[in-house]
A and B are shown apart, each in its own frame.
Chain A
Amino acid sequence: MTERHDSVILHFVVRVFMVPFIFAFGMYVLIHGEASPGGGFQAGAIVAAAIILGRLTLGHDHAGNRFPTRLLIWLASIGVGIYLVAGIVPLFFGANYLDYSQLPVLWFNNVAQHERTARAMGVFIVEIGVFVAVLSTLVILYDYLTERFQDEVDD
Chain B
Amino acid sequence: MHKLTKWLTLTFLVAMVGLFVYVSADLPDRADPHAPANEHLAGEFIELTAEEIEIPNIVSAILADFRGYDTLGETFVIFTAGLAVLLVLQRGYKRND
Residues of A within 8 A of B (CB): 33-41, 73, 76-77, 79-80, 83-84, 87, 97-98, 100-101, 116-117, 119-120, 122-123, 126-127, 129-130, 133-134, 136-138, 140-141, 144-145, 147-148, 151, 155
User: In the complex, A83→B75 CA distance in Å?
Assistant: 9
Q: Within the complex, what minimum Cβ distance (angstroms) separates A37 from chain B?
A: 7
A100 and B65 contact, CB distance less than 8 A: yes
Instruction: Report the separation of the CA atoms of residues A38 and B57 in the bound assembly, to the nearest whole angstrom.
Output: 9
In B63-86, which residues have CB < 8 Å from any A CB?
63-65, 68-69, 71-72, 74-76, 78-79, 81-83, 85-86
CA distance A129 to B68 in the complex (A): 12
A33-B60, A35-B55, A123-B60 known; A136 and B92 CB under 8 Å?
no
Which A-chain residue is minimally distant from B87 (CB atoms)? A144
Kindly list chain B residues whose C-beta atoms are within 8 Å of the C-beta of A123.
Answer: 53, 55, 60-61, 64-65
| Chain A residues whose CB sits within 8 angstroms of the CB of B57 once the complex forms | 33-37
Report yes or no: B76 in contact with A126, Cβ–Cβ below 8 A.
no
From residue A55, how far is it (CB to closest CB) to chain B in Å? 16
Q: Identify A116's interface contact among B54, B56, B81, CB under 8 A.
A: B54
A129: chain B residues within 8 A (beta carbon): 75
| Majority secondary structure, A binding face | helix
Is B96 located at the chain interface by the 8 A CB criterion?
Answer: yes
Q: Is the CB of A87 within 8 A of B68?
A: yes
A126-B68, A137-B78 known; A145-B61 Cβ under 8 A: no
Q: How far is the CB of A27 from chain B (nearest CB, A)?
A: 16
Residues of A within 8 A of B72 (CB): 83-84, 87, 98
Judged by a CB distance under 8 angstroms, whether B52 is at the interface is yes
Listed by A's residue number, 18 A-B pairs whose Cβ atoms lie within 8 Å are A34-B60, A35-B57, A37-B57, A37-B59, A76-B79, A77-B79, A80-B79, A98-B69, A116-B54, A117-B54, A120-B54, A122-B65, A123-B55, A137-B79, A137-B82, A145-B85, A145-B89, A155-B96
